[in-house]
Amino acid sequence: MDMALDQENTLNDASLLALYATGDQRAARLLTARHLPRVFAHAYRLLQDHAEAEDVAQEAMLKLWKIAPKWREGEAKISTWLYRVTANAATDRLRKRRTTSLEMAPEQVDDSLSVEDSMIENDQSRAVHSAMADLPERQRNALQLRHFEELSNPEIASVLETSVEAVESLLGRARRALAGKLSHLNRTRKPKQGANT
């Protein structure tokens, strides 16, 4: 590895973006390697569609390249800015496809489960996706960022452009709504049968 590339690897995101703005393509490659996988994962969790998530991730990175010359270090973290852009783009796409069923999303099946347990797990997964899709946008986004992206409440507040208190309120309302929507799962799941029952 050459010295220049090694030094670029230690640069922070804002410095790399400034280098990209001057035409340094290696800086763009490093930023892409750092952020594209997480941007794609966030988009996929929101959209449950691989192709659409790829499109949104690419859109987010293109927007980053476009604003590179105007970026002012210290105003926001690039990762936070990318989460916000990704969430907004995914939300726009979700609005356009409200009629598309979440049951089209591919389900991962654990081969070690019995057929009945797999069906129950798939039903539960669909129920969770459906319940999350029914949440108001900001509650859904806050929940995704907290539990799937594992962002802190202050980071979520920055992404959603709101206060930490508002994030806590959004998360509380989202969790209560999900608990209400999913309470039937605990009642309908059959207990494991013992050998002598």
Question: For residues 67 and 33, what is the distance between their CA atoms, to the nearest angstrom?
Answer: 18
Q: Inform me whether the pLDDT recorded for 193 exceeds 70.
A: no
Task: Find out whether 83 and 151 touch, Cβ atoms under 8 Å.
Answer: yes
For residue 125, the number of C-alpha atoms closer than 13 Å in the C-beta half-sphere is 17
Q: Who has greater pLDDT, 189 or 134?
A: 134
Q: pLDDT digits over 31-85, tens only?
A: 999 999 999 998 988 888 899 999 999 999 999 999 999 988 777 789 889 988 9
Least confident of 60-74, 116-130, 157-171: 116-130
CATH 1.10.10.10 for domain 112-190, yes or no, is yes
For the chain, the structural domain boundaries read 9-100, 112-190
Asked if 9-100 and 112-190 have one fold, the answer is no
Nearest alpha-carbon partner for 138 in 164, 174, 165: 174
pLDDT band at 133 (very low <50, low <70, confident <90, very high): confident
Provide CATH code, domain 9-100.
Answer: 1.10.1740.10
Q: What pTM was computed for the model?
A: 0.59
Question: For residues 156 and 33, what is the distance between their CA atoms, to the nearest angstrom?
Answer: 22
